[in-house]
Amino acid sequence: MRWYLLTWTTYGSWLPGDERGFRTYNRKLEVPPPERYAKDESVYKPDKWRWLLDYSKQMSKGEVCLNVVQRDYVRKKISGIADEKCCSVKALHVGDRHVHVLIEIGSIRIPQLVHLLKGSSSRGLSELSLTGRVWARGYHIRPVPDAAVTQVEKYLNNH
């Protein structure tokens, strides 16, 4: 597999306990709702985890939401770094609270690439009046088989 789908979120968005479901910090449980955290119940019940969401919100400085100018900056920065590191971006979506990148990775290691993408864009965003932490810790990566690349590309372009 050559292609990967990288995803990360802005700081303070999609916190543990979110009604849409959430991942654990150790990334071991990746089952989407309703099965996520439903060991003893047949349906995921967000109210059961409301305390964790409330606690998470108290601990964060608030949700980071990127405006149009900031999203455009992040798109350009990701494309530039990918070119510089001999990676090929097939599709890219920068939303107000998350980023998706369908990318073919060259010789660089994935953690190093993500560190560069998040770090460089974060430093540049500080010049666009977005101070403090921009991105949440971590990222999600999924290998994309060649047969599914077109489908993922369409999804991101229509997102």
Is the model's pLDDT at 29 over the cut of 50? no
Structure tokens at 148: 């599914």
Residue 105 CA: distances (Å) to CA of 34, 85, 135, 154: 33, 8, 21, 20
Per-residue pLDDT of 32-86, as tens digits, reads 444 544 555 555 566 766 776 676 666 666 788 899 999 999 999 999 999 999 9
Place of tokens 């510089």: 84
d(CA 8, CA 137): 8
What pLDDT does 13 receive? 74
Per-residue pLDDT of 92-112, as tens digits, reads 999 999 999 999 998 899 999
What pLDDT does 138 receive? 84
CA angle 148, 28, 54 (to 5 degrees): 105
Structure tokens at 14: 């999609």
Sheet of 88-94, strand order: 88-94, 98-104, 3-9, 140-144
Spatial contact of 61 and 93, defined as CB atoms under 8 Å apart = no
Q: Which residues contact 95 (CB under 8 A, 6 or more apart)?
A: 66, 71, 159
d(CA 136, CA 156): 21
Q: Where are the domains of the chain?
A: 3-9+64-158
Residues 3-9+64-158: name the CATH superfamily: Transposase IS200-like (3.30.70.1290)
Per-residue pLDDT of 119-155, as tens digits, reads 999 999 988 888 888 998 888 899 999 999 999 999 9
